[in-house]
Amino acid sequence: MSVPVEVDNNVILLPQTKQLIGLYSIIRDRETKRGDFVFYSDRIIRLLVEEGLNQLPVEETIIECHGGHRYKGSRFLGKICGVSIVRAGESMEMGLRDCCRSVRIGKILIQRDEETALPKLFYEKLPEDISERYVFLLDPMLATGGSAMMAVEVLLARGVKMDRIFFLNLLAAPEGIKAFRDRYPDVKIITGGIDEKLDEDKFIVPGLGDFGDRYYCI
Ligand code: PRP
Ligand code: URA
Ligand code: MG
């Protein structure tokens, strides 16, 4: 049974434009080969990064333009970094780098046990000053939510403020969003798609299969 998801300030769903649906139609197709899967996933990732940047706080600034004309603009004053949940989350690093030159990127290696679907933490390496930064947490898939919640736990233990974490995600199951939001109501989830449900193996339905395998291996 599917759980209804409320899209609000902290669960941001990309506008479901014809273009976006077209991109998802390609990556969901089981016949799509790796080259296209990577190319079209990267296009969605870019949109997620742009929306993540759009959510950051800005302050007003006056710009002096040519001829002394003035323009009321805005600028971001804080510092950001990325943190990818290895392996699949690494696919999102380049999209972030393309938008944020020389951005710092940390890694958290979490793997879901193939039998139980429970996450296991193996490794973390994060920027020293991460507690002073806004963090873009990167993982394309949110199924049960176990992996993402474990990663948030690591970030909080390092002193990152909950409302400075932005979880960028390609595809989510309602069950994962609910579990995540109940535990971390102040973390913003930015996703491109919310599917129907999880199957008995805790895979997203209709979903797109194993993202990491399709992006890196098959
Ligand atoms: C996948 C995916 C998420 C996790 C989602 O990773 O990339 O990290 O599963 O599932 P959850 O919400 O139920 O925790 P997986 O551990 O399969 O490894 P991979 O990144 O190497 O593909
Ligand atoms: N991980 C994936 O890659 N796909 C799913 O559907 C669930 C977890
Ligand atoms: Mg993963």
Q: What is the ipTM of this complex?
A: 0.97
Q: What are the pLDDT digits (tens) for 166-198?
A: 999 999 999 999 999 999 999 999 999 999 999
Q: Which of 116, 163, 183, 186 is catalytic?
A: 116
Q: Is the pLDDT of residue 146 over 90?
A: yes
Mean per-residue pLDDT over the chain, rounded: 96
Structure tokens of 135? 């963090």
Q: Is the pLDDT of residue 36 over 80?
A: yes
Nearest residue (by CA) to ligand 1, atom 8, is 147
167/136 Cα distance (integer angstroms)? 6
Probe residue for ligand 1, chosen from 141, 144, 150 as the CB with the greatest number of ligand atoms within 8 Å:
141
Q: Is the pLDDT of residue 4 over 70?
A: no
**Nearest ligand, measured from the Cα of 171:** 2
pLDDT at 3: 61
pLDDT tier, 6 (very low <50, low <70, confident <90, very high otherwise): low
**Higher-confidence position of 51 and 8:** 51
Closest CA to 119 of 199, 175, 202: 202
7/129 Cα distance (integer angstroms)? 32
Nearest residue (by CA) to ligand 1, atom 10, is 143
Mean pLDDT of the region 12-29: 98
User: Active-site residue 17, yes or no?
Assistant: no
Q: Is the pLDDT of residue 151 over 80?
A: yes
User: Which residue's structure tokens are 């969901």?
Assistant: 28
Q: Determine the distance from the C-alpha atom of residue 80 to the mean position of all C-alpha atoms in its chain, rounded to a whole number.
A: 14
User: Active-site residue 8, yes or no?
Assistant: no
Regarding the beta carbon of 211 and ligand 2, being less than 6 Å apart is answered yes
71/177 Cα distance (integer angstroms)? 40
184/93 Cα distance (integer angstroms)? 23
pLDDT tier, 160 (very low <50, low <70, confident <90, very high otherwise): very high
Report the predicted TM-score, pTM, of the whole model to 2 decimal places. 0.96
Pocket of ligand 1 (CB under 6 A): 85, 87-88, 111-112, 117, 119, 139, 141-148, 176, 202, 210-212
31/44 Cα distance (integer angstroms)? 19
19/36 Cα distance (integer angstroms)? 16
Torsion of Cα atoms, 51 then 53 then 59 then 62, to 10°: -90
Half-sphere exposure of 115 (CA within 13 A, CB side): 0
Atom number in ligand 2 closest to CA 143: 7
Q: Is the pLDDT of residue 154 over 80?
A: yes
Q: Is the pLDDT of residue 131 over 80?
A: yes
User: Active-site residue 201, yes or no?
Assistant: no
Regarding the beta carbon of 143 and ligand 2, being less than 6 Å apart is answered yes
Q: What are the pLDDT digits (tens) for 58-100?
A: 999 999 999 999 999 999 988 999 999 999 999 999 999 999 9
78 burial type by CB count under 10 A (0-12 exposed, 13-18 middle, 19+ buried): exposed
Q: Is the pLDDT of residue 55 over 80?
A: yes
How many percent of the chain have pLDDT more than 90? 94
Q: Is the pLDDT of residue 20 over 60?
A: yes
User: Active-site residue 213, yes or no?
Assistant: yes
Nearest residue (by CA) to ligand 2, atom 5, is 203
